[in-house]
A and B are shown apart, each in its own frame.
Chain A
């Protein structure tokens, strides 16, 4: 257990559906991250939040909408996704941002878009 939980662990959705991924960290960290991991590709940083404020958006399509109501919770709202969005979505946290220190990852949500 890393102190970062994610739900659901698996999600299958159609291209017209709306769903949300949830992440919660119990480490007292101030920064939280969303990453996308596709097969045979390096982890791609999507969003960074620091003290609930979005500090990074790596040119992510608007069909992905993050929300950070407090430093412990992070959501990724999904709507009208494409099949190529199928991937493992990982949440992580760190003490602060910017930070070169350790990031703690959740177990991920395996997303399949049909």
Chain B
């Protein structure tokens, strides 16, 4: 079964607004990671949150993790047109070290 599932599948906002993306997973995890992918390019690691952490910040990014609900959220504050990309969560779960990626959220930030 798919480990990470992002919600919504697509999100369109205006520059300056905040963007929130959610990720749900099914099994226990050691950590959860968020990656960004610009169109047709490779994935870039954004942030890693461990299972014993509840919140983590990096610049305009804020990630929360609720292990009781098996969910995580990624908040991008004061969005910019350059934030337009697909965002993926990835978990290790019980996969023997493999990362399992969700289908991603396509974020469009309009100037």
Interface residues of A (CB under 8 A from B): 2, 4, 6, 40-43, 45, 48, 56, 88, 90, 92, 97-108, 110
Contact A100 to B31, CB < 8 A, known contacts A41-B103, A43-B88, A43-B101: yes
A48–B96 Cα gap in the complex (Å)? 12
Q: For residue A107, which residues in chain B have a CB less than 8 angstroms away from its CB?
A: 41-42
Report the interface size class on chain B. 20 to 34
Whether B42 pairs with A4 at a CB distance below 8 angstroms is yes
Whether B44 pairs with A108 at a CB distance below 8 angstroms is no
Min CB distance, B98 to chain A, in Å?
6
A56–B41 Cα gap in the complex (Å)? 24
Contact A45 to B98, CB < 8 A, known contacts A100-B30, A100-B31, A102-B33: yes
Q: Is the interface of A mostly helix, strand, loop or mixed?
A: loop
Between-chain CB contacts (< 8 Å), 30 pairs: A2-B42, A2-B44, A4-B42, A40-B103, A41-B103, A42-B4, A42-B88, A43-B43, A43-B101, A45-B98, A45-B99, A56-B98, A88-B40, A90-B42, A90-B43, A92-B42, A98-B97, A100-B30, A100-B92, A100-B97, A100-B99, A101-B31, A102-B33, A103-B43, A103-B99, A105-B35, A105-B42, A105-B44, A106-B42, A110-B40
Whether A42 pairs with B101 at a CB distance below 8 angstroms is yes
A100–B92 Cα gap in the complex (Å)? 6
Interface residues of B (CB under 8 A from A): 2, 4, 30-31, 33, 35, 40-45, 48, 88, 92, 96-104
Min CB distance, A12 to chain B, in Å?
15
Extra 6 A-B pairs, beta carbons < 8 Å, given A92-B42, A97-B97, A104-B45 = A2-B42, A2-B44, A41-B103, A42-B2, A42-B4, A102-B48
A29–B64 Cα gap in the complex (Å)? 29
Q: For residue A110, which residues in chain B have a CB less than 8 angstroms away from its CB?
A: 40
Q: For residue A108, which residues in chain B have a CB less than 8 angstroms away from its CB?
A: 40-42
Min CB distance, A11 to chain B, in Å?
13
Of the candidates B33, B48, B97, the one having the most CB atoms from chain A within 10 angstroms of its own CB is: B97
